[in-house]
A and B are shown apart, each in its own frame.
Chain A
Amino acid sequence: MTTPLAEVQRAFTRICFDAKPSDADLAVLHAPPDRWLLYRRMVRARLFAMIRSGLPRTHETLGKARFDASVSAYLEERGVRSRYIRDVVDELVAHALPRWEADPELPAHLSDLARYEATKWAVGSLEWSVPDAVADELDFEGVPVHNPTVRSTTLRHRVDRKDERRDEPLEEPHRVLLYRRPDDAPIYGYVIDPMGVELYEAWSVPDRSFADGVRAVLAARDREPDPTFVDRMAGLLAALVERSIILGSRR
């Protein structure tokens, strides 16, 4: 009796994704096993290459053997769930991160590095959905209109710095906003301090005005808007607008 098509395809999938193809699956298929193992090599080579291209420094830090073992485990235990091959980077990091974080032999900054690279990779592909109509001039009583490509990530190490101590980045907890500018492809990063985090999060609450966001932050801090606070808040807002992280305001 002929094997049903779905069973053939399941056997084929296991041959490609299992850590070691089973004789039982190879026996389902007709031709010599070396031809099916050729498919296995091609499928895995493409996926490994895509993941490496999204996580070059993570790959370098882990080393080829450990990195490849993580990818193999992801393919065997989870398999690729997205039709968009670019998503394998995020899928791999989601799968591997708990294991990397639990492994005391790995560098302390590895998980930060993987999350940073995966976020950057994702930001590169985010859609520029049409934001709400933006007023000509920013109105502090208006609601912030955000750049839809901004992703915020909290890191313990300065893996986002390009210059110094790339192999052993400084331990310095911080928040970085990764984003693209309108009609442009490069990805930028902007680090905000703890007060900036509070304000940025307050301004990210849907349908809340800049002014109400500031009031919420002040209430949480149980303080009045002294000149130092106002200067820092105004400086942050100007920086966010200048960088197109906040596009303006709407009514």
Chain B
Amino acid sequence: MTASVEGVGLGLRHDLAKELLERRPEEVRWVEIHPENYVARGGRFQLNLEQAMERWPIVTHGLTCGVGTTQPFDPAYTRQLRELLERVGAPFHSEHLCFGGIDDTFLHDLLPLPFNRESVKTAAARARELRDAIERPVAIENISYYADPLDPGGWTEPDFLLEVLDAADAKLLLDVNNIYVNSINHGFDPRPYIDRIPRDRVVQIHVAGHFTGDDGVIIDTHGEDICEGVYELLAYTIARLGRVPVLLERDQNFPTLDHLLEEVRRLGAIYERGVAAFEAEHAA
């Protein structure tokens, strides 16, 4: 069964799981998991997943099948991934527009791609390969990046992203925090970027907190509260895109669950206002 995902969700992370699964707060409408934490694994993680499935729709977000990798994906892994997605009823599966390793070596991070034609071709091929292997839609997430690997040659980040989505015919997991982080680190206005996003491709939104270093560079840590700039950009985005589910990502430096639920409620209010604005405009 494929789950219906609406409103604001929260990442099911090990440090949060115990209390989240005991309290099952109603403001959390769905949860997101990283499949790599559940494939070929038993113990606490499986028990948590089984409990979460009783309460919430599950959405999956991968960490190690960045579509920028130059090698085909391991078919043994994509088979296991497909089985997990089937089991949890994931409506789609998302991966990042990045690479995470080469020559059977994994970096376990999200590394940026050059904004060029070869990257587009590679990402489109991998996204299609993954979609065929898992037999459901693939969404690609825009990442935060701190440097261009090669001279961009005139392409901006949204140019590159839109080229990839078109070439792959893929869905988009729009990470609003990443656009905000990149806009500060690379000095551009994020709203025209949002304006260029094709609404029919967006299946999910991510928001998170980030860390600002002494040198002014913002690092996308998912370890801080969401800042005002990201809340404002999310409101702008929802008003433009309408009813797209929003996930709060918190991956480290965990506060209390109550503190996170305050953020979830604030996101929920922004979401409802944005959807209302969108629907009013489109009803007119």
- Residues of chain A touching chain B, judged by Cβ–Cβ distance below 8 Å, are 2-6, 8-10, 12-13, 16-17, 29-32, 35-36, 38-39, 42-43, 46-47, 79-86, 88, 124-128, 149, 180, 183-185
Contact = CB atoms under 8 A, between A and B. Distances in A.
Contact of B149 (A12, A46, A82, A183): A12
B187 interface: no
Nearest to B152: A30
Contact of A80 (B44, B47, B108, B152): B108
| Secondary structure of the B contact surface, majority rule | loop
B64 A5 contact: no
A83 B36 contact: yes
Contacts of B99: 9, 12
B113 A39 contact: no
Given A8-B150, A9-B102, A35-B147, A83 B77 contact: yes
Contacts of B217: 38
A125 B64 CA distance: 18
A88 B118 CA distance: 31
Given A125-B45, A185-B47, A43 B151 contact: no
Q: Which of B70, B105, B111 has the most CB of A within 10 A?
A: B105
Nearest to A148: B42
Contacts of B41: 84, 86, 125-127
A26 B43 CA distance: 42
B43 A125 contact: yes
A81 B45 CA distance: 22
Contacts of A84: 36, 39-41
Given A83-B36, A128-B46, A29 B150 contact: yes
Contacts of A79: 105
Contacts of B150: 2-3, 8, 29-30
Contacts of A4: 118
B9 interface: no
A31 B148 contact: yes
B118 A2 contact: yes
Given A81-B105, A83-B106, A127-B41, A6 B70 contact: yes
A125 B39 CA distance: 10
Interface of B: 36, 39-47, 64, 68-70, 74, 77, 99, 101-109, 111, 113-114, 116, 118-119, 122, 146-152, 217, 219
B260 to A, nearest CB: 22
Contacts of B108: 43, 46-47, 80, 85, 88
Contact of A46 (B109, B148, B219): B109
B36 A149 contact: no
Nearest to A36: B147
A43 B109 contact: yes
In the A-B complex, list the 9 residue pairs whose CB atoms are closest, starting with the nearest.
A31-B147, A35-B147, A185-B44, A79-B105, A127-B42, A83-B64, A9-B102, A128-B42, A6-B70
B252 to A, nearest CB: 9
B106 A82 contact: yes
A82 B100 CA distance: 12
A126 B42 contact: yes
A33 to B, nearest CB: 9
Nearest to B151: A30
A80 B147 contact: no
B118 to A, nearest CB: 5
7 contacts: A2-B118, A5-B68, A13-B101, A13-B105, A30-B148, A42-B219, A79-B105
A69 to B, nearest CB: 20
A109 B113 CA distance: 46
Nearest to B122: A5
A180 B46 CA distance: 13
B146 A9 contact: no
Nearest to B99: A9
Given A13-B105, A80-B108, A127 B149 contact: no
Contacts of A5: 68, 70, 113-114, 118-119, 122
